[in-house]
Amino acid sequence: MQPNKNVQNQNHVQSYQGVDRRKLLFAGALVVVVAIVGILIYALVEIPKTSTLVVGVGPKDAKILIDGKKYENRTYKMRPGTYHVTIEREGYQTQESEVVLEKGATGEVRACLTTDGGNEDWWHNEGYTEGENGYYCQAYYDMLARRAQAEMEADNKIFSLMPYKNYEDGYMIAAQEQEGGKVKVTISLLYCKIDLQQMSKEMALEWMRGKGLDPETYDIEISILCEDLEPERW
């Protein structure tokens, strides 16, 4: 009878081992499935977020809603598209706008709310370190300045081309907007000899024409910068 008991025990051990192997295989398969599902969810949710959005609003505790979802002052990865923005806080005027996010580009949602009493300068005595009201409001006005500069350059091609320096041909050119909107172009000549100065001036004017700028439409000012240096030094 003893051999029969041994056979039964061996059968039980083999049965348990078989169950354990099946459990391990099932657990392993489950881990693989969960990992695949996680990768698919990441691919569907995160990979399309090819745009970057920087959010910075003062007051720092203002409520920021983008397409109805609450956001905070920080940087986000977003899907490209057009978003509706609402910024509100008690005691301040609500601001609404839209932000367009391009694929692979960075967009900004910045604001410095005006108080209900019309005070736009309330933040001047606030802290200017990162995370403080002064920091976010200053960043907002810096953004406005950048956009104004970009618009000016787009409206007037000359500002995207100048200042320009050509030491080999002996001249530098700079542009400056004057009152009334007219632009003054200063051509600085680097050679000292008069004949070389005239040559540099003509080359500078020719450079402008080659860039599609008509010198006749600008106030041209000539400046001599040689200070009696020998031409050979240029």
Q: How many CA atoms lie within 13 A of 149 on its CB side?
A: 8
Tell me if 50 sits within 8 A of 103, measured CB to CB.
Answer: yes
Tens-place pLDDT, residues 83-123: 999 999 999 999 999 999 998 999 999 999 999 999 999 99
What confidence category does residue 233 fall into, taking pLDDT thresholds of 50, 70 and 90?
A: very low
What confidence category does residue 20 fall into, taking pLDDT thresholds of 50, 70 and 90?
A: low
Mean pLDDT of 71-90: 96
Q: Which of 3-12, 53-62, 194-203 has the highest mean pLDDT?
A: 53-62
What confidence category does residue 230 fall into, taking pLDDT thresholds of 50, 70 and 90?
A: very low
Residue with tokens 């910024």: 87
What confidence category does residue 229 fall into, taking pLDDT thresholds of 50, 70 and 90?
A: very low
The pairing of strands 164-166 and 171-177 is antiparallel
Residues 37-68 as b/e (b if ≥16 CB within 10 A, e otherwise) read eeeeeeeeeeeeeebebebbbbbbebebebee
Q: How many CB atoms lie within 10 A of CB 75?
A: 11
What confidence category does residue 5 fall into, taking pLDDT thresholds of 50, 70 and 90?
A: low
Q: How many CB atoms lie within 10 A of CB 35?
A: 10
**Cα–Cα distance, 217 to 48 (Å, whole number):** 48
Higher pLDDT, 167 or 23: 167
Tell me if 97 sits within 8 A of 85, measured CB to CB.
Answer: yes
Res 4: pLDDT: 56
List the beta strands (DSSP E) in 72-143. 75-78, 81-88, 95-101, 106-112
DSSP 8-state code for residue 162: -
Tens-place pLDDT, residues 192-228: 888 899 999 999 999 999 998 888 888 899 999 875 4
Res 34: pLDDT: 78
Q: Of 232, 231, 229, 173, which Cα lies nearest the Cα of 202?
A: 173
Res 80: pLDDT: 92
